C-alpha cells in the first residue's frame, strides 16, 4: 500500500497554508478544518471566562512562531464572537460541532454566553491597512484604528477628514440627503467622488450648502485644516457608536501581526497601550482588542531595554489575557488536518508499530550531546504522526526561528516565511505520497517548503551544489545542514545526520552511515561545509554572519559604562588612587 492510500483525506487537496485576515473566499473551509488543540482549549477557556466577566483587562495577546496558527485562531475568534453567518450556517454551530465543545460542557457554556452578547468584529491585518500610513508618523497606529473604524461605519477610511465630514452629516441625519443631492448636481455617486475631492470640490460645496442651508466654499478644505487626531476622541467615537447599537453591544478589534508592526518602536507600543487603556476607560469592557504577534508580550517589551520595559506595566495589565501557541499545537493541527488515517491505514500502521516499536529509541534518538527530542510515545502517537517523526516538528520550528533571527527570509518582515508549517508538511507529504508504507519523511525535504522564501545569498551554496555536484544524496545532506545551521542545541555529528536522513524502517544502517560519510567528505572537500571536531556546519558568508550577530546583540547602557570604566581605569590611567603631597 502506498502512503497516499492510508490518509483519510487526499494529502494533495487544497489546504490554505497561510490564513489571510481579509480573505472571505474560504471561510467555510477555514471553519470546517479549524482544529482546537488541547493547549488552545485551555487558553480559550480562560479567555472566554475573562470576556464574559470583565475585570479591567480588555486585551488579548496571541503569540506564536511562524506558521503556528495565530492568524487562523484570530479569524475564528472574530467570526464566532460575532456569530457570523457563513453559507447559511452560523459560526457558533461550526464550533459547537467540534469534538472539543462536545466533550467540554463548561467551555460550551462559556462560548454560548459569549456569543449571546451582541457584538461586531473588525478584523484586519495592520500592515495591509497601513498602506498609506508611515510608521514614522507620530500617530501611525491610531491612524490605522481610525481608518478601519471609519470603514466599518461606512465612511471613507483613507482620508479621516472626509470621514469626519460624513460623520457629522450622518449625526445630523443629513448624509443620505447629501449623497442624493450630490448625485443630482454632479451626475456622480458620492462613493466615487470622495476619492477625488479636489476635482469635485465645487459640486461638494453646492450639495452641502443645499442640504444644510449654509453658504460656504471649500468645505472639505476646512475639515482638512481643522482635523486633529486624538486617542481620547477616538475612544469617545467608539463609545458613542456602541451606545447607539444597544445596551449590551460590543465592538471588538482583531488585529493581525501587530507585534511585527510595533516591534522596536517604543512610540507605537505606547500608542497601543494608550488605545487599549482609553477603550477600557470609556467603554468598560464593551470594546476589546485581540492582537497577534510573533513573540509573547514579555519578549516584545523586554527587547526594548530594562528602562523602557518598566514603563510598560500598564500595557501588560491591559493585555493580561495571553494565548501562546507552541510546536505542540502545530503538531496536533498537522496530525488532525493533514495526517488523519483511514481504517485500512490504521490497520497497516498498527502492524508496522508492533514490528518496529522496540527499535524507535535506537533509530530516532540523538546522541553526542545533542538536545533530546520527543520520540514516538505509543501506538496512537505513531499512527497520528507517521510518516513524520516527532522530532521533526520541534526541530523544524527551531530551524525556522533561528533562520529568521539571522535574516534568512525575503519579504517585508524577515521573520515571516511565505509558508506555514502546515503548508511545508503538506508539500513533503505530497512528495512522498507514492512511497510504500514503511518509508519515512527525511528532514532535508523540509527545505523545499521554504526555498522560495529564503534569500538567494543565504542558500547560495545549495544553488551551486545543485548546478555542479553529481551526487543527489550529498545535496540532500547539504539541505539538512542548512536547516540546522543555527540550531545550537542540535549537534550535527555523523550519527545525528544519519537520523535526519533515515527514509525507511528497513534501511541498512551501516550502508546509510557510509553514504552520509561519503557525502560529508565530498561537501567538505568542495568547501560547501566545514568540520569542527566531530560536527559539520553549512558554510555561508561568515563575515556577514558575525556582523548580524553583533547587530542582534543588545547592550544595556550600564554595561557599556562598566566596560568603559575598566578600559579607562585599568588600562589607561591604571592607578585608581590620587596622592596629594603637602607643599609645606
pLDDT at res. 415? 41
**Do 311 and 79 meet the contact criterion of CB atoms below 8 Å apart?**
no
Average pLDDT on 294-314 reads 59
- Is the domain 3-17+24-132+231-324 a CATH 3.40.50.10490 member? no
361's enclosing H/E stretch is helix 360-364
Whether 348 shows a pLDDT value over 50: the answer reads yes
- Point out the least confidently predicted range of 87-96, 204-213, 324-333, 429-438: 324-333
The pTM of this model reads 0.76
DSSP tag of 454:
B
49's enclosing H/E stretch is helix 38-52
pLDDT at res. 175? 94
In this structure, what C-alpha cell is assigned to residue 13?
Answer: 487537496
pLDDT at res. 210? 92
- pLDDT bin (cut points 50, 70, 90) of residue 313 is low
- pLDDT bin (cut points 50, 70, 90) of residue 547 is very low
Count of Cβ atoms closer than 10 Å to residue 464 Cβ: 13
Q: Is 375 helix (H, G, I), strand (E, B) or coil?
A: coil
d(C-alpha 506, C-alpha 436), whole Å? 12
Question: What would the pLDDT profile of 366-421 be if each residue is shown by its tens digit?
Answer: 887 778 888 888 999 999 999 999 999 889 988 888 888 787 776 544 444 345 78
- Point out the least confidently predicted range of 182-191, 297-306, 474-483, 529-538: 297-306
Write the DSSP assignment of 497-518 as a string of letters. Answer: HHHHT--BTT--HHHHHHHHHH
**Do 287 and 253 meet the contact criterion of CB atoms below 8 Å apart?**
yes
Task: Quickly tell me which residue has 516565511 as its cell.
Answer: 417
Show me where the domains of the chain are located: 3-17+24-132+231-324, 154-226, 341-544
Burial (CB < 10 A; 0-12, 13-18, 19+), residue 207, is buried
d(C-alpha 207, C-alpha 179), whole Å? 8
- At 112, give phi and psi (nearest 5°): -60, -40
Whether 455 shows a pLDDT value over 90: the answer reads no
Within its chain, how far is the Cα of 509 from the centroid? 39
Count of alpha carbons within 13 Å of 64, Cβ hemisphere only?
25
Whether 578 shows a pLDDT value over 80: the answer reads no
d(C-alpha 426, C-alpha 528), whole Å? 29
Average pLDDT on 338-347 reads 91
266's enclosing H/E stretch is helix 266-283
Checking DSSP bridges between strand 535-538 and strand 89-90, what pairing results, if any?
Answer: unpaired
DSSP tag of 4:
G
Amino acid at each position: 500500500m502506498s502512503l497516499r492510500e492510508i490518509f483519510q483525506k487526499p494529502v494533495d487537496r487544497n489546504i490554505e497554508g497561510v490564513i489571510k485576515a481579509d480573505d472571505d473566499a474560504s471561510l467555510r473551509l477555514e471553519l470546517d478544518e479549524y482544529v482546537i488543540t488541547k493547549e488552545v482549549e485551555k487558553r480559550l477557556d480562560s479567555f472566554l471566562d475573562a470576556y464574559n466577566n470583565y475585570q479591567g483587562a480588555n486585551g488579548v495577546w496571541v503569540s506564536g512562531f511562524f506558521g503556528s496558527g495565530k492568524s487562523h485562531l484570530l479569524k475564528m475568534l472574530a467570526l464566532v464572537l460575532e456569530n457570523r453567518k457563513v453559507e447559511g450556517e452560523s459560526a457558533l454551530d461550526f464550533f459547537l460541532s467540534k469534538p472539543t465543545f462536545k466533550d467540554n460542557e463548561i467551555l460550551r457554556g462559556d462560548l454560548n454566553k459569549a456569543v449571546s452578547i451582541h457584538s461586531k468584529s473588525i478584523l484586519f491585518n495592520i500592515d495591509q491597512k497601513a498602506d498609506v500610513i508611515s510608521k514614522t508618523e507620530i500617530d501611525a497606529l491610531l491612524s490605522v484604528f481610525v481608518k478601519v473604524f471609519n470603514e466599518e461605519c461606512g465612511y471613507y477610511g483613507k482620508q479621516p477628514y472626509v470621514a469626519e465630514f460624513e460623520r457629522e452629516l450622518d449625526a445630523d441625519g443629513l448624509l443620505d440627503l447629501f449623497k442624493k443631492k450630490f448625485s443630482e448636481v454632479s451626475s456622480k455617486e458620492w462613493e466615487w467622488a470622495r476619492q477625488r475631492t479636489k476635482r469635485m470640490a465645487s459640486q461638494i460645496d453646492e450639495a452641502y450648502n443645499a442640504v444644510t442651508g449654509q453658504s460656504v466654499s471649500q468645505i472639505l478644505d476646512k475639515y482638512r485644516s481643522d482635523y486633529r487626531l486624538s486617542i481620547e476622541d477616538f475612544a469617545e467615537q467608539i463609545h458613542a457608536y456602541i451606545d447607539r447599537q444597544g445596551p449590551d453591544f460590543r465592538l471588538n478589534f482583531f488585529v493581525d501581526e501587530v507585534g511585527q508592526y510595533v516591534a522596536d518602536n517604543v512610540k507605537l507600543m505606547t500608542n497601543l497601550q494608550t488605545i487599549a487603556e482609553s477603550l477600557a476607560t470609556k467603554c468598560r469592557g464593551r470594546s476589546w482588542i485581540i492582537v497577534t504577534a510573533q513573540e509573547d508580550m514579555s519578549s516584545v517589551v523586554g527587547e526594548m531595554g530594562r528602562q523602557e520595559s518598566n514603563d510598560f506595566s500598564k500595557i501588560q495589565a491591559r493585555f493580561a489575557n495571553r494565548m501562546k501557541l507552541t510546536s505542540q499545537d502545530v503538531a496536533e493541527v498537522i496530525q488532525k488536518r493533514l495526517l488523519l488515517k483511514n481504517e485500512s491505514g490504521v490497520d497497516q500502521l498498527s502492524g508496522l508499530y508492533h514490528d518496529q516499536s522496540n527499535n524507535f529509541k535506537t533509530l530516532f534518538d540523538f546522541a553526542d550531546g545533542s538536545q533530546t527530542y520527543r520520540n514516538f510515545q505509543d501506538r496512537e502517537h505513531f499512527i497520528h504522526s507517521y510518516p513524520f517523526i516527532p522530532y521533526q516538528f520541534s526541530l523544524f520550528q527551531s530551524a525556522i526561528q533561528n533562520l529568521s533571527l539571522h535574516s534568512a527570509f525575503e519579504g517585508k518582515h524577515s521573520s515571516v516565511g511565505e509558508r506555514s508549517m502546515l503548508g511545508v508538511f503538506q508539500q513533503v507529504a505530497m512528495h512522498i505520497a507514492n512511497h510504500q508504507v514503511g518509508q519515512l519523511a527525511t528532514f532535508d525535504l523540509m527545505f523545499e517548503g521554504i526555498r522560495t522564501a529564503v534569500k538567494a545569498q543565504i542558500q547560495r551554496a545549495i544553488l551551486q551544489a545543485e548546478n555542479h555536484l553529481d551526487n543527489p544524496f550529498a545535496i540532500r545532506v547539504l539541505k539538512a545542514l542548512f536547516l540546522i545551521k543555527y540550531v545550537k542545541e542540535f549537534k550535527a555529528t555523523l550519527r545525528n545526520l544519519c537520523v535526519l536522513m533515515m527514509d525507511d524502517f528497513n534501511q541498512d544502517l551501516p550502508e546509510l552511515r557510509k553514504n552520509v560519510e561519503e557525502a560529508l567528505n565530498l561537501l567538505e572537500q568542495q568547501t560547501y561545509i566545514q568540520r569542527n571536531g566531530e560536527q559539520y556546519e553549512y558554510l555561508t558568508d561568515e563575515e556577514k554572519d558575525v556582523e548580524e550577530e553583533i547587530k542582534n546583540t543588545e547592550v544595556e547602557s550600564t554595561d557599556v559604562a562598566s566596560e568603559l570604566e575598566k578600559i579607562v581605569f585599568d588600562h589607561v590611567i591604571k592607578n585608581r588612587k590620587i596622592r596629594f603631597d603637602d607643599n609645606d
